[in-house]
Amino acid sequence: MRTATIARIAALLAVPALLAAPSAVASEKAGTLDVIAHRGSSGVAPENTAPAVKAAIKQDADFVEIDVQRTKDGRLVNFHDCTLERTTDVEERFPGRPSYRVSDFTWDELRTLDAGSWFHETYAGERIITVREVITMVRGKTGLLAEISPCGHYAATGLPAALEAELRSVRGYVEDAVADGELGVQSFEVDDAKAFKTLAPEIPVGVLDAERPTEAELVALSEWADDVGPQYTVTDSALVARVHELGMGINVWTVNEPGAMRTMAGLGVDGIITDYPQSLTGS
């Protein structure tokens, strides 16, 4: 993925107000690092909705990170949780359903849900959006980092292939985005990430991990993966150095506190995934 010059990290600038980032971070020296908006700018707008994506673009994030799932009738949508209860009114709108998994609802059903009120009344009525809609919003403006859902019920159902087909269905998008360094795919599931890489070798692919990857895992990943994505709490200078030595990039998640942002930037990571991209860009 492309690297972008970030704002200078020199002081903490408090941002008061409801739904604002905890602080903005500046730098004593210019660095290069990708600022990756986690589920969009999800600290200031409901995650994975159009306002979150648009806010991330306005805040000059280098990438908008999204979560790819599939509806019962095959539509790819941008939604994180395996089930719908936490961030929508699905239980009120469809009471008594035996399952509230995203994959058990049609697109026509999902598009009726309120995916914004849980966050703040300002966003009442915001809808779940499709992957195609996200592509339309980010194309030519910023990068897209698409995560293939790790929800177990998608296993062996071809979700990597579906995402690859969806990306290519937008004429010229993959070619343009790859040329500009504005497209990547990642997953917690090694098999899914590898399957996608086989289908689309030109698109950078990363593997996420909540634990510190072992030496054996890193060596194995270096044979085909472009990036690794450990949780920032298990990341140190030795890990960053080894990942780079093996020819891969390292994007850490989910970094929201200014001190942790400074620490990760100082370690030389390639990307920071955050709910508050404006804390790094200053926008």
- Strands 183-187 and 63-70 come out as unpaired
> Can 120 be counted among the known catalytic residues?
no
Q: What are residue 148's DSSP bridge partners?
A: 68
Paired strand residues for 208: 229
Q: Give me the amino acid identity at 53.
A: V
Q: Tokens 């177990």 belong to which residue?
A: 152
Q: Does residue 67 sit in helix, strand or coil?
A: strand
What is the SS3 assignment for 24?
strand
Among the listed residues 80, 120, 153, 244, the single catalytic one is 80
Q: Which residues have C-beta within 8 Å of that of residue 210, sequence separation ≥ 6?
A: 188, 230, 231
244 is catalytic: no
Question: Measuring CA to CA, how many Å separate 131 from each of 65, 147, 180, 220?
Answer: 11, 11, 20, 30
Task: Give the single-character DSSP code of 138.
Answer: H
Q: How far is CA 184 from CA 124, 141, 278, in A?
A: 31, 15, 21
Instruction: Report helix, strand and coil shares of the chain as percent, to nearest 5.
Output: 35, 20, 45
Alpha carbons 77 and 105: distance in angstroms, whole number = 11
Catalytic residue selected from 38, 120, 153, 244: 38
- Residue 281, judged by CB atoms within 10 A of its CB (0-12, 13-18, 19+), counts as buried
* Single-letter residue type at 215: E
Report, as residue numbers or ranges, the catalytic residues. Answer: 38, 80
